[in-house]
Amino acid sequence: MSHDSARGPSPLREKASWRVLDGFGGSVRSLSRSASPATVEALAQVFTEARAEGLNVSFRGAGRSYGDASLNTGGLSVDGRAMRRILAFDRERGILEAEGGASIAEVWRHTLPQGWWPAVVPGTMFPTLAGSVAMNIHGKNCSRSARSATTSWSWTCSPPRANGSRSAASVMPSCSGA
């Protein structure tokens, strides 16, 4: 966040750049301001400033939603892709903890070489974990496992069976947090 020592923090209306956003369907476009915080503290600051300025806020990851859910004309779109770290992976149990901006591709790059595969995945590797959970990608199991979340997500992956196939039923994306 930029600061001017004489005036204090710059308002989001001045420092957040304008972006034309669209969704995966490409049928609708939206002009909104965009912020891309890289830490939980920076995200909290964006919320504080947006509230003080009366800006509506939406979240955006990779923009792969068919429903264009992240569009927010005239408001503030928070791009979560800067918060994409893989935080931990328990190879014995197949549990991955990552920030919500991590993509399915990043999960694959981390887990596949170790013999693990997320059983619930979209048809493309580009969506973020947070977007996948928010949009309930290819499965109804997310609604049973999701709780209110912090900025980290844990995914349980399935090991290969003896014949090399994988079990999809045993794995659900689940939020870690309070």
Read off the CATH number of the domain in which 41 is found: 3.30.43.10
Distance CA 42, CA 129 (A): 20
Average pLDDT, the chain: 75
The residue with greater pLDDT, 103 or 164, is 103
Shared domain for 117 and 162, answered yes or no, is yes
pTM: 0.70
Q: Give the contacts of 78 (CB within 8 A, at least 6 positions apart).
A: 34, 35, 36, 37, 43, 46, 57, 58, 59, 60
pLDDT tens-place string over residues 151-166: 334 455 555 555 554 4
Q: Report the pLDDT value the prediction gives residue 56, as an integer from 0 to 100.
A: 92
Shared domain for 77 and 100, answered yes or no, is no
Shared domain for 78 and 90, answered yes or no, is no
Distance CA 38, CA 24 (A): 24
Shared domain for 49 and 97, answered yes or no, is no
Q: Give the contacts of 135 (CB within 8 A, at least 6 positions apart).
A: 65, 67, 69, 127
Shared domain for 97 and 50, answered yes or no, is no
Shared domain for 149 and 77, answered yes or no, is no
Shared domain for 116 and 46, answered yes or no, is no
Q: Which of 43-47, 56-60, 159-163 has the lowest mean pLDDT?
A: 159-163
Shared domain for 110 and 58, answered yes or no, is no
Q: Report the pLDDT value the prediction gives residue 157, as an integer from 0 to 100.
A: 53
**Residue 57 predicted with pLDDT over 90:** yes
Banded pLDDT at 91 (limits 50, 70, 90): confident
**Residue 83 predicted with pLDDT over 90:** yes
**Residue 10 predicted with pLDDT over 90:** no
Nearest to 103 by CA among 60, 56, 62, 57: 62
Shared domain for 169 and 114, answered yes or no, is yes
Structure tokens at 55: 């800006």
Shared domain for 13 and 68, answered yes or no, is yes
For a pLDDT cut of 70, what percent of the chain falls above it? 70
**Residue 92 predicted with pLDDT over 50:** yes
What kind and span of H or E run contains 14?
helix 12-15
Shared domain for 76 and 94, answered yes or no, is no
The boundaries of the domain holding residue 117 are 86-175
Domain closes at, from 44, 67, 82: 82
